[in-house]
Amino acid sequence: MILILFVGSLLLAFIAKKNSLLAIMSPTFWASGMVAFFSLIYICTYSTMLGDLHLITVVVMLGALLATYFGEYVGCRVVFRKTKTNTKNITPHFENKTPIIVSKSKTVILTVVFTIIGIMRYRSLGAFASVYAGVGGFKSAMEMMSYARLGYVQAGTNISLGGTFANQFVYLCEICAYIYIFIFFYNYLVCKKINLYLLLPILPDVLIRFVTTTRSAYIILVISIVAAFFSVSQRMGKKWILFSPKLLKIVFVFAIVLIWYGRSRNDVSISMTRYLQMYTCSSLYALDSFLIKNTSNSPYFGYYTLQSIYSLLRITHDTVPVWNPDVIFGINGAATNIYTCLYDTVNDFGIVGMLFVKFIEAIISGAIIKRFLNSDVYESKYYVLIYFVVAIEYCYLNFPIGHAFTGYFGSPDLMLRYLVYCAIIVKLVFMPTINAEGKIRIGRFYIK
């Protein structure tokens, strides 16, 4: 069965890349590719897994991918207002191929402000971790991270590392980092200009992500780099961009660093095979166990997927939080509590409801990405949509891991906050204008 899942998801990834209007930016391609990758690891390490998947799991997973494909197809054909750059097709090339000039003064000012915020949060994290470190304290940043994670778990919630006002700069820093990354790749790929100063705001962003103590914060940063590279290359009409040596080197180095970072926070005695299974193919086995045993534990409608909406509407339920039960997937007793992105929606709405949810999610995602790819760099909406495109690609990269879509687009207040902040930061800092020479300048008041 796992071989069927591998072949089916790989075939669907190929079809999505070849036939979707979004091509390499297709959510179906990202989701199917990740399922195929996890299935391949399952096959390669099959001897240490407890067994094969059941037919129901393969059917449900491929059904979810097909629902995503058809939802994306519908979303790509949504036209809000027909203009030259908003049609049923994707604009093949950038109309303006001059470098985007961003004020160095503004870039430095933003970097300094965000660095101050990052240092403040780092010091707050150190103070928080010291409470759980005891008398001995901690001797390194990695030990501090371990104690901070322990504190988060014991506290049962995230701890604020700064005041409400200062925390808003964290959102602004993330948005700016993504925009600067896209501008850097546009100048590099389209205009053959390497502007290293555009990478300055990424430095405090990395520090702020370090303070979050989560691996996912780094993963989404790398996804923003990959998405920028793919989207710009696709608009340039480049072929075989999946096999770019430079991009592959970046992904390979990141994978090595991520594995080292993860193992340094866990028991280093765990074998590499077991560690790899824990964070990849074990989720497929856990989903299989859930579907076969029918261990649904959703206490009310939308418990896993509609929490943010209930909170926004001030609807409360008198229930105790339900944690995902551990599932043993390896012959050595290895266990996981990761169930893929299907677990939450199947728990809440059943298999048919899950397929409908995936269909709707894909419509939204396809429409947003197509809108982005049809925008050009002299349009402000190009920069406003960058964050949402990165978030979408991250959600679908997490398809065989968890339901990240709920955390982002299932939270109306969070999406509204990001939309407002994106609009403000673009209006004040990144508003694109074209001068008499046809050069694109970023910022209404450009400072040389």
Res. 77: pLDDT tops 60: yes
State the pLDDT at residue 281. 82
Task: Report the mean per-residue pLDDT for the chain.
Answer: 78
Q: What angle is formed at CA 22 by the lines to CA 20 and CA 27, rounded to 5 degrees?
A: 85
Do 408 and 414 touch, CB atoms closer than 8 A?
Answer: yes
Residue 447 lies in a domain: no
Do 103 and 447 touch, CB atoms closer than 8 A?
Answer: yes
Burial code (b: 16+ CB inside 10 Å, e: under 16) for 227-244 equals bbbbbbbbbeeeeebeee
The continuous run of DSSP H or E covering 189 comes out as helix 164-189
Report which residue type is found at 183: I
- Split at pLDDT 50, 70, 90, the class of 86 is very low
Task: Dump pLDDT digits (tens) for 185-207.
Answer: 888 888 888 889 999 999 999 88
State the pLDDT at residue 388. 92
* Domain of 191, in residue numbers: 2-442
State the pLDDT at residue 356. 93
The continuous run of DSSP H or E covering 264 comes out as helix 245-264
State the pLDDT at residue 87. 46
State the pLDDT at residue 175. 92
Domain count for the chain, please give it. 1
Q: What angle is formed at CA 338 by the lines to CA 335 and CA 341, rounded to 5 degrees?
A: 155
Taking only Cα atoms into account, the Rg of the chain, rounded to an integer number of angstroms, comes to: 22
Residue 306 lies in a domain: yes
State the pLDDT at residue 253. 65
Residue 350 lies in a domain: yes
Residue 29 lies in a domain: yes
Residue 448 lies in a domain: no
- The better pLDDT of the pair 447, 292 is held by 292
**CB within 8 Å of 257: residues ≥ 6 apart:** none
Residue 377 lies in a domain: yes
State the pLDDT at residue 363. 93
Task: Dump pLDDT digits (tens) for 2-32.
Answer: 899 999 999 998 898 888 888 888 999 989 9
The whole-angstrom separation of Cα 377 and Cα 371 is 13
State the pLDDT at residue 214. 74
Residue 79 lies in a domain: yes
Task: Determine the average pLDDT of the residues in 139-165.
Answer: 61
The whole-angstrom separation of Cα 301 and Cα 347 is 9
* Lowest-pLDDT range of 118-122, 375-379, 402-406, 438-442: 438-442
Task: Dump pLDDT digits (tens) for 24-43.
Answer: 889 999 899 889 988 988 88
Residue 322's nearest CA partner among 340, 341, 348, 342 is: 348
Quick one: angle between helices 380-397 and 27-44, nearest 10? Answer: 30
Residue 118 lies in a domain: yes
Task: Dump pLDDT digits (tens) for 261-314.
Answer: 555 555 555 667 777 777 788 888 888 888 887 766 667 777 777 777 777 777
Res. 242: pLDDT tops 80: no
Res. 60: pLDDT tops 90: yes
